[in-house]
Chain A
Amino acid sequence: AQSVAQPEDQVNVAEGNPLTVKCTYSVSGNPYLFWYVQYPNRGLQFLLKYITGDNLVKGSYGFEAEFNKSQTSFHLKKPSALVSDSALYFCAALSNDYKLSFGAGTTVTVRA
């Protein structure tokens, strides 16, 4: 069985500061990892994914994520956060039977 954990329910940062949203995973076999963002009362928007190759994955809206196999982590990062980045962020892992397992989500608040 695979699982995804997001250890922080909330992350608060000031605009212009670096933003990090943490994710750890437990999967059998090769990990296929995703980040999604959700704005209030909206569906999830795909940000980026890791399949193989470079450990640093670049995605939409200036976000990137760093895959660390030894620490089984896939943290989402943005060098300079914007107020508009305030949203709910989900980490997910894909299994061989097409199922996505989601973390519980992290609410990001960026203050002006």
Chain B
Amino acid sequence: DGGITQSPKYLFRKEGQNVTLSCEQNLNHDAMYWYRQDPGQGLRLIYYSQIVNDFQKGDIAEGYSVSREKKESFPLTVTSAQKNPTAFYLCASSMGQLPGTDTQYFGPGTRLTVL
């Protein structure tokens, strides 16, 4: 899991609430990513950021928001608009160099459960 930390490890949310998942890295990586993992579906990209103050939507961005105010931090907010937020959320980072040399390294994950 290296130098990427995610908190909390487990998170419970009531319907209608927004929650924010934390992701911090001390690897001096430029690029950061958020993925959602559901059983039998692999990982799906929510948002990614290649540089501070810039981010792009991934494949399933609806109901989520992010910010990238610092290089080290890329928090993810799961809003009440997300219809089925119960999942395992993984943050990753990479150096942000040219594709093909850019290995993504993952944090330990946050398991979000909607009550």
Residues of A at under 8 Å CB distance from B?
Answer: 9, 30, 32, 34, 36, 41-46, 49, 51-52, 90, 94-100, 102-105
CA distance A103 to B44 in the complex (A): 10
Task: Tell me how far the C-beta of B10 lies from the nearest C-beta in chain A, rounded to whole angstroms.
Answer: 9
Residues in A whose Cβ lies below 8 Å from that of B44: 102
Query: B16-40 vs A: 1/0 string, CB under 8 Å?
Result: 0000000000000001010000001
Closest 5 CB pairs of A and B: A43-B106, A102-B42, A32-B100, A44-B106, A102-B43
Q: Range of interface residues on chain B?
A: 20 to 34
Task: Tell me how far the C-beta of A61 lies from the nearest C-beta in chain B, rounded to whole angstroms.
Answer: 15
Residues in A whose Cβ lies below 8 Å from that of B31: 98
Please report whether the interface of chain A is mostly helix, strand, loop or mixed according to DSSP.
loop
Residues of B at under 8 Å CB distance from A?
Answer: 1, 4, 6, 31, 33, 40-45, 48, 50, 58, 88, 90, 92, 94, 96, 99-109, 111
Pick the contact of A51: B42, B101, B104, B109 (CB < 8 A).
B101
